Chains A and B, each alone.
Chain A
């Protein structure tokens, strides 16, 4: 397992970063260590030489003013009472007069001498300076540099172990981090695989940490929800289409059969064929309404968008419908604030409004009062279509904008159940917020045109290069 996983971990970005970081840190620690090492060593060296130089100066003066006997006495005293330094006085013939340096240095000036490896005693290293005092007498003063080297060794050792520990920590940290990230990525991969295998309800697990992965997972899950809803509505719509067309197709077939059977009696034949044509029209209407909704929903089409006088449009539609409403025994009252402009597609908005009025007229009893209003409220334009009819039960309100959805009581009224779906599509395209409320009694549909809708911001929705290209691509499709 780890044999397979390790190389993969090493290929992850986090591990790479950890390794790079470790490398950079090691190099800087090494550089720093080297600088400290050389500085400390130079400073210790200087201390040693300074001390020896001072001692030699002092003894030289002693020899010059008091002579050899006093020098020997002085050295004897110092070796007895100040063991910090080691001394040696040698006469012209190379005979040791006094001192505790283990060996006689060969040269004058600075030299390093070591004690013989006797096995019993601790081996010592001395930094020694030898000078000629006069009459061939040589004075050597040395300092044991063993402790100095020990310090250096300890320093190097510490540096080495720090480096090692740090490398281990960063690398294992990197590995752990990589493994953590990888497990999140693996979760996403597994979810995707599950969905490919057909478990469409699979979702990426969340850890509740609200980190980048959680946010990514949440977004992915929302995307999956959306896709799922679309797929479901697609299959729902397909089923509904099949269902919606079965009835008129069946009736069409019956009429054609009857027409065939009655081929001889020409009068009745005509009626049957007219009826068959009417059924065909119903089917074609359903299809064109579906196509139209689909096209509006594709939402790449803002070519029909212009600045338009919404008040004038409301008045035109209200005027067109008021006589028709009267003939149906209903009253249509319009209260429209004049001069309200918006940016939109006149044809679609007219159709949307007409569908709402169609609905209000067709699904209400005689004597119903239908109120159409448009007014400016704050930065929004509020339009409403309200009737005093039977209304829509609260639990059905969210469904009525679905394709083919029909209330139980309106199943018998002619219609394809696509009118409000088209309203919803046009509203979506224009960013209009739709609301259904109880008009107590009746239904009130409110349309809130977003504030920026009225001004230039919708202009930015005009096709840029991208959407223009899509529109062109769609136009080329056949």
Chain B
């Protein structure tokens, strides 16, 4: 994946660039909003990481301008502030995701991967399939092999999100945001308990594990190799 990083703090930028390069990605870094505008509109990036505070052109304005010029590349905002309305402002400006500093690299990586491979326009999929697990988004039915599985609405959303990101790690925070719309970190192990319920329901009849825990990062659903 090719990533543009717009970040004026050299240390943070180096941290992101190094991490991405180690993961086999290509990362371009600029510190100035105006340079970023030029690069973003003239290169086909998979995803752009934008710091909210930038010299030259403020992050929100930069993304608005990029969107205004017709570039649909997914944008992830970074900010040092955990402002209670910054997330809304960022998404309103045309951002696709939002991450508050300080962050774990695994969190950023998971979010970038989810953004980069997101189809530009949501396809009208009605069925998702991983190995012998199949869910129907219209009838909201879940089948593992021949076995019908009964899920609670929230468990269905959890599974749907995992399956939409098949083979990609999703973090605990991403799940909280997308499944429950919780933009905070609960002290109680909500995600863990739901994943564990989901697993036991999916693995009825001693089926093989599909949802894997990635230590220190999150969860991934993938077909057994």
Residues of A within 8 A of B (CB): 274, 284-285, 288, 291-292, 295-296, 301, 303-304, 316, 319-321, 323-328, 345-348, 350-351, 354-355, 357-358, 361-362, 415, 419, 471, 475, 478
Contact = CB atoms under 8 A, between A and B. Distances in A.
Contacts of B102: 284
Main secondary structure of the interface of A (DSSP, over half): helix
A357 B188 contact: yes
B95 to A, nearest CB: 15
Nearest to A476: B58
Contacts of B180: 316, 320
B84 A295 contact: yes
Contact of B84 (A304, A326, A355): A304
A323 B186 contact: no
B185 interface: yes
Contacts of A355: 187
Main secondary structure of the interface of B (DSSP, over half): loop
B53 A478 contact: yes
B48 to A, nearest CB: 20
A29 B127 CA distance: 102
Interface residues of B, number: 30
Interface stretch (B34-42, B108-116, B139-147, B189-197): B189-197
Contact of B181 (A288, A350, A475): A350
A348 B188 contact: no
Given A303-B88, A304-B88, A323-B193, A347 B187 contact: no
A323 B197 contact: yes
Contact of A316 (B53, B89, B181): B181
A342 B147 CA distance: 43
Contacts, number: 82
B216 A324 contact: no
B98 to A, nearest CB: 12
A346 B182 CA distance: 9
B64 interface: no
A320 B82 contact: no
A475 B82 CA distance: 12
B118 interface: no
Contact of B85 (A288, A301, A324, A358): A301
Contact of B182 (A292, A296, A320, A345): A320
B178 interface: no
B154 A319 contact: yes
Interface in B84-141: 84-85, 87-89, 100, 102
Contacts of B184: 347, 350-351, 354
Contacts of B181: 316, 346, 350
B148 to A, nearest CB: 21
Nearest to B184: A351
Contact of A295 (B83, B187, B196, B216): B83
B208 interface: no
B183 interface: yes
12 contacts: A274-B216, A301-B85, A303-B85, A304-B84, A304-B85, A319-B154, A320-B186, A320-B190, A327-B193, A354-B182, A357-B188, A358-B187
B132 to A, nearest CB: 25
Contacts of B154: 316, 319-320
B181 to A, nearest CB: 7
Interface of B: 53, 81-85, 87-89, 100, 102, 152, 154, 180-190, 192-194, 196-197, 216
A324 B193 contact: yes
A278 to B, nearest CB: 10
Contacts of A347: 84, 87, 182-184
Contacts of B53: 478
Given A291-B82, A350-B181, 8 more contacts: A284-B102, A303-B88, A316-B154, A320-B154, A326-B193, A347-B183, A351-B183, A362-B188
A362 B190 CA distance: 13
Given A288-B100, A304-B84, A319-B154, A354 B194 contact: no
A98 B220 CA distance: 148
A351 B87 CA distance: 15
A419 B184 CA distance: 12
Contacts of A319: 152, 154
A348 B85 CA distance: 10
Contact of A324 (B83, B87, B182, B189): B189
A345 B193 contact: no
A350 B182 contact: yes
Given A316-B181, A320-B182, A478-B53, A292 B82 contact: yes
B190 A301 contact: no
A426 to B, nearest CB: 9
Contacts of A471: 85
Given A292-B84, A295-B84, A419 B187 contact: yes
A167 B181 CA distance: 79
